[in-house]
A and B are shown apart, each in its own frame.
Chain A
């Protein structure tokens, strides 16, 4: 009888480069805000960032900031401030924590990046409701606060197939953004510049997809928890050369790991798919738990959601419309189930974990019986853990750990 010590995390060498990329992103925004050198657009995470960049905006992503609030475990401090002005504790905790932080005049950026004292104020806010309706409400609050325009794209939901009619409608909405954005930016729209940006976004997306696909190797060179950190450039810097360069570097490191037989999880004997949002404030604890259980969470819907295979510079608006409409989150359950089945097969998954995030029903696919259906259809175990993306008051770690350990005991027979 012996008790094994907690295995150590294997940090990717690319992490240093990632830190540099993130730092230069935020310092560039801070500098622009202070000097007024560039207009700043706030964009939802799967919003039309390429269009904004092509018009010369620097782009800031509130969802990325909200994830930082979660990861630094500050979100729960800020949520009550938003609740107090009428934003329910039942709605998106990205929204409530981010607005709460703004009300309290705090940001984790100031701790991470000395000299930065505030988030860069927007000249315009641009959303796409493909993620959820909350982004619109969230951005409209900032629009009222900063007295700047809030523009957006209204996406379709619950689609089994994305048709040409869907794509045409979104494409039209994207093109309708051009006149007001031109006026705010003071830059004339240039289709060639948009094509260049889309090409960089396409490359970023393709490389990010290849990074994630390295996890198909057994043992996997990376985990879902690595993915949640290293997806940063795909979110905040897609459409830039720096994101492309970063993923070339990361991909090379992961391929080296595969060649050298380096596993992200030593003695990997169980491979799990993570469906749903990360629990940002518990990434480290959960990563440590799976490491101890010799289990690798190899793939996730969440990290895959920033692969936009349809982007095509030859057809900028149609391809943006398709790429941002064919997201997992906008689709009907039948389509989501087909997708997860493909992932299970490709990554040779032993079990599926559903994170039911209390304040994010759009990203919680356990609410309408999907885990049970997939268990029946695929014959591999599924488990649901109850928690939240940012509000740690909604997560019982003891219960979740017991549930996950029992799940792995079940998977391993």
Chain B
């Protein structure tokens, strides 16, 4: 068994883990719902990827945790922010000057990298869930639809409807008002996805090569399509976009071990 490098992304909605071998190939990966106990879920994904790889803890040469729960893991682990990790993970697939748009459960981020992969600057959403996965989850709950049903319905939309509210709560009030006026559910759902895209484009200027990552893009490709319509450029989508933060963390673990 070669030495392994672990990256864990303990996000607000989902926890992701990636295990790399000494050739930086992914040998195990997992995604589970985070719940409330970051320590427990950190342990759970660790055990899951070790099981997949047929390895145990002593094979892990270095581990890096990222995401909101990055300080809560109870095994030896370095930590790095999700900004750097998403940037690093995206750069692994697109090694050039890129702008990463990561739409996560609680944060939306725009991360600009130079041609050498260096973090040039970043923007994050304010203290507000509008434009994040949490917004989408809340809308799905209020409409009594699953996230995959949202995706299907958006594809059936016949017209563009604009939502004007900034606030998640008032957005749903607006949806109710539009529904009373006879706007079809698929059009409302597409409007919800468009609201996310609108919030993303308000965060910062999107130019050059755009890479879209995160759980929202992984489960709702409509968002990437709408983003393409908005900015006039097709965003690049890496394989397994939800795992990019964990992959970036694992790559940092690899580099940390190399430099040690």
Note all chain B residues with C-beta closer than 8 A to A2. Answer: 76
Interface set, chain A 348-396, CB cutoff 8 A to B = 375, 381, 386, 394-396
Q: Establish whether residues A399 and B81, one from each chain, have CB atoms under 8 Å apart when the complex forms.
A: no
- Contact at A396–B124, with CB atoms within 8 Å? no
Known: A3-B76, A405-B81, A406-B81. A375 touches B121 (CB 8 A): yes
Q: Are B119 and A396 in contact (CB under 8 A)?
A: no
Q: Does B127 contact A (CB under 8 A)?
A: yes
What residues of chain A lie closer than 8 Å to B76, measured between beta carbons? 1-3
B62 contacts A402, CB within 8 Å?
no
Interface residue from A375, A399, A405, A409 paired with B127 (Cβ < 8 Å): A399
Determine if B83 is an interface residue (Cβ-Cβ < 8 Å): yes
A403 to B125, CA, bound (A): 10
B83 with A1: CB separation less than 8 A: no
The interface residues of chain A lying within 8 Å CB-to-CB of B80 are 409
Whether the pair A394, B83 counts as a contact (CB closer than 8 A) is no
The distance from the CB of A107 to the nearest CB of chain B, in whole angstroms, is 30
Contact with B along A84-100 (1 / 0, CB 8 A): 00000000000000000
A132 to B122 alpha-carbon distance, docked (Å): 32
Confirm or deny: A179 has a beta carbon within 8 angstroms of a beta carbon on chain B: no
CB-defined contacts of A413 to chain B, threshold 8 Å: 118-119
With known contacts A394-B127, A396-B127, A409-B83, A1–B62 Cβ distance under 8 A = yes
- Please measure, in the bound complex, the distance between the C-alpha atom of A403 and the C-alpha atom of B123, giving whole angstroms: 9
- In the complex, the answer to whether B127 meets A410 with C-beta atoms within 8 Å is no
Chain B's closest residue to A395 (CB) is B127
CB of A190 within 8 A of chain B? no
**In the complex the two chains form, is A398's CB within 8 Å of B83's CB?**
no
Q: Is the CB of B124 within 8 A of A399?
A: yes
Using Cβ atoms and an 8 Å threshold, which residues of chain B touch A405?
81
- Render B114-144 as a binary contact track against A, CB cut-off 8 A, 1 for contact: 0000111110101100000000000000000
Given contacts A1-B63, A1-B76, A3-B76, contact A402 B124 (CB under 8 A): yes
Proximity string of chain B (56-95) to chain A, C-beta cutoff 8 Å, 1 when within and 0 when not = 0000001100001000000011101111100000000000
* A398-B119 contact in complex given A1-B62, A405-B81, A406-B84, C-beta closer than 8 Å: no
* Chain A residues whose C-beta falls within 8 Å of the C-beta of B63 in the assembled complex: 1
Q: Does B21 contact A (CB under 8 A)?
A: no
Is B78's CB under 8 angstroms from A1's CB? yes
| Shortest Cβ distance from residue B241 to the other chain A in the assembled complex, whole angstroms | 20
Q: Contact at A402–B127, with CB atoms within 8 Å?
A: no
- A59 to B89 Cα, complex, angstroms: 58
Which residues of chain A have a CB within 8 Å of any CB of chain B?
Answer: 1-3, 375, 381, 386, 394-396, 398-399, 402-403, 405-406, 409-410, 413
Since A2-B76, A398-B68, A406-B81 are in contact, a sample of 20 more A-B pairs with Cβ atoms closer than 8 Å, ordered by chain A residue number, is: A1-B77, A1-B78, A375-B121, A381-B121, A386-B127, A399-B107, A399-B124, A402-B68, A402-B107, A403-B124, A406-B84, A406-B119, A409-B80, A409-B81, A409-B83, A409-B84, A409-B119, A410-B120, A410-B121, A413-B118
